[in-house]
Amino acid sequence: MSEKTAMAIRKMIDYNSPDLRRINHALKVFGFASAIGVEEGLNAKELEILEAAAVFHDIGIHKAEEIYNCASGDYQQKLGPDVARPQLLELGYSLEQVEEICYLIGHHHTYTIKDNPLLQMLIEADFIVNIDEKDFPEGTDYKKIRDKIFITKTGKKFINSLIIEIEN
């Protein structure tokens, strides 16, 4: 993990404090995104962008709740980039990096974009954590979800492990 990523984690914790549930969610998504990125062969620059996006992916939730009284994915995507942008610049990310990170934040609930590997890895990491944290209705077909959303070999490996655990 780079020093910049560690500082991003500190900033995310400060921003979300005392909301431990959201802090822990971001840290879990960061962990899965980082593992997927490493196993999928990202270079250091790509991994730094993916990790920052994972840390800040839900940064728009508080603003969404404040404005819309709702934390839906659409509102997170709409508001998150503007909340993240000044924080990322303050941390020393380049303007190009900030725009790419904000793009990822602004699309992390858009499951139809399949041509951006970093976005795909972020979506998969977030979905893995969401499966663990949310009570999906009984009878949810996780294999169907996997087949529709997951592309990376590593993400599929992780989700398959979760499906085995859920089904047992």
DSSP labels, 77-88: HHHHHHHHHHHH
- Domain ranges within the chain, ordered by starting residue: 3-167
Give the CA distances from residue 54 to residues 106, 113, 142, in Å, rounded to whole numbers and listed in that order. Answer: 12, 17, 22
Residue 164 pLDDT grade (very low, low, confident, very high; cuts 50, 70, 90):
low
- For residue 155, the model assigns a pLDDT of 96
Q: What CATH number should be reported for the domain whose range is 3-167?
A: 1.10.3210.10
- Asked if 4 and 91 touch (Cβ cutoff 8 Å), the reply is yes
The CA-based angle 25-99-147, given to 5 degrees, is: 50
Phi then psi dihedrals of residue 114, to 5 deg: -115, 0
- Of 124, 123, 111, nearest in space to 154 by CA: 124
Q: Take residue 2 and report the two structure tokens written for it.
A: 């780079």
Q: What is the per-residue burial (b if ≥16 Cβ within 10 Å, else e) of 147-164?
A: eebbebebbeebbeebbe
Under the banding of pLDDT at 50, 70 and 90, the label for residue 165 is low
Q: Rounded to an integer, what distance in angstroms lies between the CA atom of residue 62 and that of residue 83?
A: 10
pLDDT of residue 138: 78
What's the token pair of residue 153?
């070999």
- Model pTM score: 0.93
Q: What is the mean pLDDT of residues 24-38?
A: 98
Give the per-residue pLDDT at 51.
98
Residue 135's pLDDT is 65
pLDDT value for 132:
80
Which of 26, 6, 41 has its CA nearest to residue 154?
A: 41
Distance separating alpha carbons of residues 134 and 126, to the nearest angstrom: 12
Closest CA to 93 of 1, 19, 8: 8
What's the average model confidence in pLDDT over 96-114?
94
Q: pLDDT tens across 107-162, in order?
A: 998 988 889 999 999 999 999 998 888 767 778 888 898 999 999 999 999 999 88
What is the predicted pLDDT for the residue at 167? 61
Note the pLDDT tens digit of each residue in 35-73.
999 999 999 999 999 999 999 999 999 888 888 987 878
- Give dist(CA 18, CA 119) in Å, integer: 28
pLDDT mean over 84-94? 96
- What CA–CA distance (Å, rounded) separates 164 from 36? 19
